[in-house]
Amino acid sequence: MTEQIVILDFGSQYTQVIARRIRECSVYSTILRYDTPSKDIAALKPRGIILSGGPSSVYAKDAPLPDRGIFSLGVPILGVCYGVQLLAHFMGGKVEKGQKREYGRGTLRVSRGACALFTGLPRRLEVWNSHGDKLTRIPKGFGAVAVSDNSELAVIEHRAKRIFGLQFHPEVAHTPRGRELIANFVHRICRCGKHWTMRHYVEQAIAEIRARVGSERVILGLSGGVDSSVAAALLHKAIGDQLTCIFVNNGLLRANEAEVVQQVFGRNFKMALQYEEASELFLRKLRGVTDPERKRKIIGKTFIDVFQSATRRAGAARFLAQGTLYPDVIESVPIAGNPAALIKSHHNVGGLPKNMKFQLVEPLKCLFKDEVRQLGLELGLPKEIVFRQPFPGPGLAVRCLGEVTPEKLQVLRRADAIVVEEMKLAGLYYKTWQTFAVLLPVRSVGVQGDERTYDWTLAIRAVESQDGMTADWVRLPYELLEKISLRITNEVRGLNRVVLDLTSKPPGTIEWE
């Protein structure tokens, strides 16, 4: 069984970050609900358990509590923030109610030497605090390891039982040496090796896919996005021609998109690629429609129809493969104040109808996005695919405001290609989360040559984000913006004005729709 660390989720917005940090140490991690029975946890034979932070107070009526059996499993435990309160609650310490919850940078001073968590780290550390309720009496058998500006008990340890508590968040970027601290926990304290690498994963996943699929056929909807592309490459490596990929051209793709997919998967990888040309159908259904929700619905439904008939033409297959990722399958903890609980995005719900009689194969189901990219490189996919920016399922329809017409799409495609090309030339494309053009249904007067024009407006959107849930607009260099604007107004007929979107999310969304 894979060596792993179990993280019990008490509703922190950082739970997934903890899981990723551990995996960055080449150790597998699993997120489980806070109330998972300890016998189920024991069955996984975890090398250690982390109690995440969370928005609650242990004194609250419905405070989320773990099965107390976890403290008798004999494995090391690390409590983070709310996790420390739990240690106090179960082991006889005391927590005092803070007036309000505040976050902020602080300095930690390690006072007790030889705590394995701090091996190789300096005595003074910058940390990201969470001043909520705070520990005021140390639980029995514990010693104080470090103090911070606001707490004498910022880090505690029970050396014999190997239980630790941190008032701050080691997993966030604002705790610069936090990764080393987490590495100390998993390697020195939990004694995990470095077995979780994408190279190992490929072998393991291939064996699992072969065992599951046998000699049956598998169908996969290939969108050209990172997830479905990596899933395709992995499955192809495992089962070769038993895999058929279906690529639907909905007429809402970016410039060259369809060609790249056919080139990479059809010609390079020599996969069985069934190309479904459905542009006309989609555009016909979208004719005259301006309401964003209706556009989405029409596109979603048309996609299902096209995909279903494509699968029938692909011939009998027992399995349908999907590039579902770990964050999509983690059960969110329904605790008020937990933003993760709201995150299940409206974007990916729906999917394919239940009446499609396939069994699902989801070979990326335990991976985070950064791992999927690693895996993609491992499988030989080009950087252009592995590091591509997220692109919405309804495609350019959400970037072509108002009615979607072939003419407007043509204008948008050309302008978007210039934005992408210039961003790449400037070395900024792969450093931003998303950079794209939006065609606004606004005409204004311009003058080009000696002629007055009355043309459309293009907005440039460049955002920085970790996960698409929040985003900040990118401060692109003026010289670059100038070049993009000049090229667009010179090269793309139908546009005479370029504007820049200066809105973060919230209050804006990333796509304009």
Tell me the catalytic residues: 81, 169, 171
Cis peptide before 507 (omega within 30 of 0): yes
How does DSSP classify residue 268?
Answer: I
Rounded least distance, CB 226 to ligand XMP, Å? 11
Taking CB under 6 A as the criterion, the residue among 98, 382, 402, 468 binding ligand XMP is 468
Q: Which residues contact 190 (CB under 8 A, 6 or more apart)?
A: 5, 47, 48, 75, 76
- Asked if 350 interacts with ligand XMP (CB under 6 A), we say no
Rounded least distance, CB 342 to ligand XMP, Å? 12
SS3 at position 6: strand
Please identify, among the stretches 236-244, 282-290, 484-492, 502-510, the one whose residues bind ligand XMP according to the rule CB under 6 A: 502-510
Distance of alpha carbon 19 from the chain centroid: 12
- Asked if 443 interacts with ligand XMP (CB under 6 A), we say no
Binding mask 9-48 for ligand XMP (x = CB under 6 A): ----------------------------------------
b/e map 61-89, b = 16+ CB within 10 Å: eebbebbeebbebebbbbbbbbbbbbbbb
Give, as ranges, the residues between 218 and 277 that touch ligand XMP (CB under 6 A): none
Distance CA 504, CA 463 (A): 8
- Asked if 395 interacts with ligand XMP (CB under 6 A), we say no
- Asked if 132 interacts with ligand XMP (CB under 6 A), we say no
Rounded least distance, CB 347 to ligand XMP, Å? 4
* Nearer Cβ to ligand XMP (76/395): 395
Taking CB under 6 A as the criterion, the residue among 32, 311, 392, 484 binding ligand XMP is 392
Rounded least distance, CB 381 to ligand XMP, Å? 19
- Asked if 297 interacts with ligand XMP (CB under 6 A), we say no
Rounded least distance, CB 233 to ligand XMP, Å? 19
Q: Tell me the pairing of strands 319-321 and 218-221.
A: parallel
Distance CA 74, CA 76 (A): 7
Please identify, among the stretches 42-50, 63-71, 104-112, 393-401, the one whose residues bind ligand XMP according to the rule CB under 6 A: 393-401
Distance CA 482, CA 477 (A): 9
Q: Which residues contact 367 (CB under 8 A, 6 or more apart)?
A: 201, 325, 326, 375
- Asked if 434 interacts with ligand XMP (CB under 6 A), we say yes
Helix (H) or strand (E) holding 281: helix 279-286
Q: At what angle do helices 198-213 and 369-378 cross, to 10 degrees?
A: 90
Distance CA 245, CA 239 (A): 12
Cβ-based neighbour number of residue 393 at 10 Å: 18
- Asked if 83 interacts with ligand XMP (CB under 6 A), we say no
Rounded least distance, CB 142 to ligand XMP, Å? 43
* Nearer Cβ to ligand XMP (143/390): 390
* Nearer Cβ to ligand XMP (76/392): 392
Residues near ligand XMP (CB under 6 A), total: 13
Residues interacting with ligand XMP, by CB under 6 A? 347-348, 390, 392-394, 398, 434, 468, 505, 509-511
